[in-house]
């Protein structure tokens, strides 16, 4: 059994609300319960955050905030194995992923924003005036206030801390709601924070679903001053409508139907291995994963065969996060099998053990579908990639950019001039050349079109979570 999942409101842990089961994606068995926060508790969490804005927290210097962020990172490190176990239990992902990516990156999020905020400077100008004495203009950054942070189930702690760390760094208070499917590491984070000197109410945590539950009550709350959300584009639209009522600022990292381009001059084996990684990491349940791959026609058949063989040979992959998500992915694959060709996978695997009760889908390679087919057009968010040939660079760009999404893309080529020509022409927020998911936490992260609003990372996050104010002093 997992450790009990609890709310954390105003510096106190709470288990109020009707519980719902926590399900192990590997076996489908219930492993615990999660309390669904009643509306009154969500209101209390927002009020606690609002009250904390005007308490001792408001007097903390950037150096003090930086120090407490480092202490939170220390606390995660000290309980590293607990965090790894909880993340694996909730998501079903292999330990290798959680221990090398999810938990280390959560620690890095706190440390990087701690360092950025401690060394950040603001702008100033000496302005001439008619009397010749001049004026001094300078900017100060003030916190937005109460920030609602709503994080998804695929990278639960990583994406929660990606927002919580910069929000706290700039002096905001936070009410966080993780996905109801993966709440455990958020609760562990609350326990770590409770052991620091962070004032009560600065960080609050509530659990529950979206529509008609904690997520809706939080995003519609008139005392919430900003909303940071990662998740589906349709959910983002719903939250944006709620935010419009109070003109609440939003930061959205939404869905993607990411494309890859493989040119004939690419390192063939590097492109195959890179695509296996970009398509099937965490069984495709990463917003940056490749779901569409366009390969230059002269190498298309060989590449498709190599990718299919690689997909069939994959072992150690994890399940879908839930039965509903597995069924959604398999629904896409049923349509694809009827209308195109399945080169590898395409169904739920059989293990002849407890995993047969879980939510598994084989790594799948498809081809032969038209560009308007649901499996090519819509986000699947599973271990599925569709291959199609192209003949010219112009055609390749048109195929990638025709999508309503625009989060990320990969370009595989041995031609440096082509790389610099093609990558900036892609309608995406992130383009990788001859690699995938190589990240520097200081760089802008986010998408265009239906893939999001705004940018996260480095100063981009610190700017969102603060309001610039100009002070003009006549000399």
* Active-site annotation, residues: 253, 287
Gap between the Cα atoms of 42 and 205, Å rounded: 9
| Short-list 326, 363, 371, CA closest to 345 | 363
Distance CA 88, CA 101 (A): 12
- Whole-angstrom distance, CA of residue 415 vs CA of residue 358: 44
What is the residue whose two structure tokens read 């690689």? Answer: 310
**DSSP character at residue 210:** S
CB-count burial class (<10 Å; 0-12, 13-18, 19+) for 319: buried
* φ and ψ of 373, to 5 deg: -70, 145
What are 121's two structure tokens? Answer: 């400077």
- Token pair 């290798």 is at which residue? 96
3-state secondary structure of 145: coil
121, 105 in Cβ contact below 8 A? no
CA 463 to CA 155: how far, in whole Å?
24
Q: What are phi and psi of 59, to 5 degrees?
A: -100, -5
Closest CA to 96 of 271, 275, 278, 281: 281
Distance separating alpha carbons of residues 168 and 309, to the nearest angstrom: 47
**H or E element that contains 126:** strand 124-127
Q: Each residue of 351-364: b (16+ CB within 10 Å) or e? A: eeeebeebbbbbbb
Q: How far is CA 150 from CA 62, 217, 227, 263, in A?
A: 25, 12, 8, 39
Residue for token pair 């600022």: 249
- C-alpha 241/C-alpha 248 separation (Å) is 10
CB atoms within 10 A of CB 400: 25
| Closest alpha carbon to 49 in 201, 257, 170 | 201
> Which of 475, 271, 470 is CA-nearest to residue 387?
271
């Amino acid at each position: 059994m997992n450790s009990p999942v609890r709310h954390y409101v105003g510096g106190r842990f709470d288990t109020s609300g009707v519980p719902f089961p926590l399900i192990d994606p590997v076996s489908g068995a219930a492993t615990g319960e999660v309390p669904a926060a009643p509306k009154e508790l969500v209101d209390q969490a927002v009020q606690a955050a609002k009250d904390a804005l005007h308490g001792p927290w408001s007097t903390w210097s950037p150096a003090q905030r930086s120090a407490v962020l480092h202490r939170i990172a220390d606390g995660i490190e000290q309980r590293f194995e607990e965090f790894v176990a909880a993340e694996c239990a909730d998501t079903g992902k292999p330990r290798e992923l959680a221990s090398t990516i999810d938990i280390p990156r959560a620690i890095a999020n706190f440390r990087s924003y701690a360092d950025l905020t401690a060394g950040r400077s603001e702008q100033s100008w000496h302005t001439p005036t008619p009397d010749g004495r001049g004026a001094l203009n300078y900017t100060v950054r003030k916190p937005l206030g109460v920030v609602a942070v709503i994080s998804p189930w695929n990278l639960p702690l990583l994406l929660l801390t990606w927002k919580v760390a910069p929000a706290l760094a700039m002096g905001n208070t936070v009410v966080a709601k993780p996905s109801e499917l993966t709440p455990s590491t958020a609760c562990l984070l609350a326990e770590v924070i409770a052991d620091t000197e962070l004032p009560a109410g600065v960080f609050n945590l509530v659990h529950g679903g979206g529509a008609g539950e904690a997520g809706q009550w939080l995003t519609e709350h008139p005392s919430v001053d900003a909303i940071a959300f990662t998740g589906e584009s349709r959910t983002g639209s719903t939250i944006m409508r709620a935010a419009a009522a109070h003109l609440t600022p939003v930061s959205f990292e939404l869905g993607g139907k990411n494309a890859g381009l493989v040119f004939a001059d690419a390192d063939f084996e590097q492109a195959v291995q890179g695509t296996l990684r970009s398509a099937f990491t965490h069984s495709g349940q990463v917003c940056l994963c490749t779901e569409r791959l366009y390969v230059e026609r002269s190498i298309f058949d060989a590449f498709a065969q190599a990718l299919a063989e690689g997909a069939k040979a994959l072992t150690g992959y994890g399940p879908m996060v839930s039965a509903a998500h597995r069924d959604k992915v398999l629904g896409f694959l049923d349509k694809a099998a009827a209308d195109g060709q399945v080169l590898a996978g395409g169904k739920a695997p059989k293990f002849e053990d407890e995993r047969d009760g879980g939510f598994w889908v084989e790594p799948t390679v498809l081809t032969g579908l038209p560009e308007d087919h649901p499996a090519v057009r819509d986000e699947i968010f599973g271990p599925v990639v569709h291959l199609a040939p192209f003949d010219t660079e112009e055609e390749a760009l048109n195929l990638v950019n025709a999508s309503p999404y625009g989060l990320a893309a990969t370009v595989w080529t041995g031609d440096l001039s082509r790389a610099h020509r093609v990558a900036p022409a892609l309608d995406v927020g992130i383009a990788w050349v001859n690699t995938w998911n190589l990240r520097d936490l200081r760089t802008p992260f986010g998408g265009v079109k239906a893939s999001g609003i705004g940018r996260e990372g480095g100063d981009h996050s610190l700017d969102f979570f603060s309001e610039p104010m100009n002070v003009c002093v006549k000399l």
